[in-house]
Amino acid sequence: MSPGTLNDVDSRELLRLRSEVTRLNARKRELAEVAETHQRLRNQLESGSTNVVGNRLPPGYIRKSEAQFAGYSTPENTVQSLLWALHHHNATGLLQSFSPDVSAKIEANGGTDSFFKSAEPMPGLAIRGRNNLPDGSVELEVEFDPSMPTDKLHLRPINGEWKLESIF
């Protein structure tokens, strides 16, 4: 047999390997489609987690997944930091968003893990109004779900930081 020619065994093995490469390439294309479908469905689920027409959120709405840690220097920053803590399951950030009394209640009622689980369905919120109260505290009018009536969050300054005075 001259160099460059294949015997029957080698020829069959080469055909088998080519067939395997073809099959694996086809499988790779199928899996790429699955990954694309997964990402598309995930995006739809995220954007469809509220009952908003056209799956669009109103201006000013902050998703938990897009919230940033902003500290506690203003009531609005505290609320955004809370959303960030909820999204990242950051127990320290969660407890620091609340007054010491409320943080103690969270710990007494199942702890932060329980709180994270109960807050999981909340996609985020929008601040729709602010009322500065005579005692120096602030009441924020917030919209958790654009299809529902607004709620009120009460915050007060403690040692130079704004803290939530209630659990939603």
| CA dist., res. 11 & res. 2, Å (int) | 14
Residues 33 and 14 both lie in one domain: yes
User: Which range, 45-49, 56-60, 133-137, is most confident?
Assistant: 133-137
Domain containing residue 21: 1-47
How would DSSP label each residue in 36-54? HHHHHHHHHHHHTSS--GG
Four-CA torsion 23, 24, 25, 30, nearest 10 degrees:
90
Residues 70 and 35 both lie in one domain: no
Residues 153 and 101 both lie in one domain: yes
Residues 155 and 107 both lie in one domain: yes
Residues 111 and 146 both lie in one domain: yes
Residues 95 and 131 both lie in one domain: yes
Residues 4 and 40 both lie in one domain: yes
Mean pLDDT, rounded, for 32-61: 64
Which band of pLDDT confidence, cut at 50, 70 and 90, is reported for residue 142? very high
Residues 105 and 159 both lie in one domain: yes
Chain-wide mean pLDDT for the chain?
Answer: 86
Q: Which residue would you say has higher pLDDT here, 31 or 132? A: 132
Q: Which residue would you say has higher pLDDT here, 37 or 167? A: 167
Residues 151 and 77 both lie in one domain: yes
| CA dist., res. 8 & res. 14, Å (int) | 10
Residues 18 and 88 both lie in one domain: no
Query: How many domains does the chain contain in total?
Result: 2
Query: Which CATH number belongs to the domain containing residue 89 in this structure?
Result: 3.10.450.50
Q: Which is it for strands 161-164 and 151-158: parallel, antiparallel or unpaired?
A: antiparallel
Residues 66 and 138 both lie in one domain: yes
